[in-house]
């Protein structure tokens, strides 16, 4: 893993920003930021991309990260996402969330895990929101390159996991990870829709997955009357 010294040793306070929950059909998207003077302590903790850590290791690291860094989290609920997607793309929406975190932290340099297929375009989106006051370095796979972004990814992931656990307790059913690829999530959504005639709370109703489930269940229902 490269160090921040390889990129901006003269810049002073730096932050890393990453998200968790861009793709799920259930639950919020979380954007987290971590700010430090340098990444020495983060490297000593052994931070890495949250996807490469076990849940137990993420849980172990998150409090240690928060103890040595300034950090911020912003959340966009499923309802927020549905509303915002009526007027902007997911990439633009995420750029605004990233900018909000950076603005709260106030670093001189911000390292981003780029959400756009074009990492430079995403960096420009965020820079435009900030008005050019912060140096932006936007890279794909930044959570695997910069320890400060790895730390942000761990905070974002653990924060979202805690919210999903709360939703599961609230709804009284196993809801899975919230991703369309998760059979538990799809099974939960189908069961809920069959029983209640509507999608469960915390569903991103603008997702294609929702229409696909409704159409599938409608066809199944019609078949029972043939």
Query: What predicted TM-score, i.e. pTM, was given to this entire model?
Result: 0.90
What CATH code would you report for 4-168? 3.30.420.10
CB 188 within 8 A of CB 174: yes
**61/215 Cα distance (integer angstroms):** 43
Name, in order, each residue with C-beta under 8 angstroms of 198's C-beta and a sequence gap of 6 or more. Answer: none
187-197 confidence digits (pLDDT tens): 999 999 999 99
CB 12 within 8 A of CB 31: no
pLDDT class of 49 with cuts at 50, 70, 90: confident
The beta strands (E) that lie in the chain are given as: 14-20, 29-36, 70-76, 109-113, 135-139
**60/45 Cα distance (integer angstroms):** 10
State the CATH class of domain 172-223. Answer: mainly alpha
Chain centre to alpha carbon of residue 176: 17
* Averaged pLDDT, 172-199: 96
CB 162 within 8 A of CB 30: no
Of 84, 81, 92, which is closest to residue 21 (Cα–Cα)? 81
140-163 confidence digits (pLDDT tens): 999 999 999 999 999 999 999 999
What are the extents of the domains in the chain?
Answer: 4-168, 172-223
Name, in order, each residue with C-beta under 8 angstroms of 62's C-beta and a sequence gap of 6 or more. Answer: 154, 155, 158
User: What is the SS3 assignment for 26?
Assistant: strand
pLDDT class of 12 with cuts at 50, 70, 90: low
CB 115 within 8 A of CB 30: no
79-115 confidence digits (pLDDT tens): 999 999 999 999 999 999 999 999 999 999 999 999 9
């Amino acid at each position: 893993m490269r160090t921040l010294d390889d990129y901006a040793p003269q810049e002073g306070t730096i932050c890393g920003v990453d998200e968790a929950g861009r793709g799920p059909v259930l639950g919020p998207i979380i954007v987290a930021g971590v700010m430090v003077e340098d990444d020495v302590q983060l490297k000593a903790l052994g931070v890495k991309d949250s996807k490469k850590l076990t849940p137990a290791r993420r849980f172990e690291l998150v409090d240690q990260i928060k103890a040595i860094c300034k950090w911020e989290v912003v959340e966009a609920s499923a309802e927020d996402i549905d509303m915002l997607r009526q007027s902007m793309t997911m990439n633009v929406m995420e750029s605004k969330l990233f900018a909000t975190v950076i603005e709260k932290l106030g670093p001189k340099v911000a390292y981003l895990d780029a959400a756009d297929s074009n990492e430079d375009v995403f960096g420009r989106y965020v820079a435009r929101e900030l008005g050019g006051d912060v140096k932006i370095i936007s890279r794909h796979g930044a959570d695997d390159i910069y320890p400060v972004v790895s730390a942000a990814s761990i905070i974002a992931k653990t924060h979202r996991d805690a919210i999903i656990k709360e939703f599961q307790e609230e709804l009284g059913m196993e809801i899975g990870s919230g991703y369309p690829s998760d059979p538990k999530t799809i099974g939960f959504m189908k069961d809920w829709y069959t029983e209640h005639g509507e999608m469960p709370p915390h569903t991103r109703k603008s997702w294609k997955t929702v229409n696909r489930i409704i159409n599938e269940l409608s066809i199944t229902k019609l078949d029972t009357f043939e």
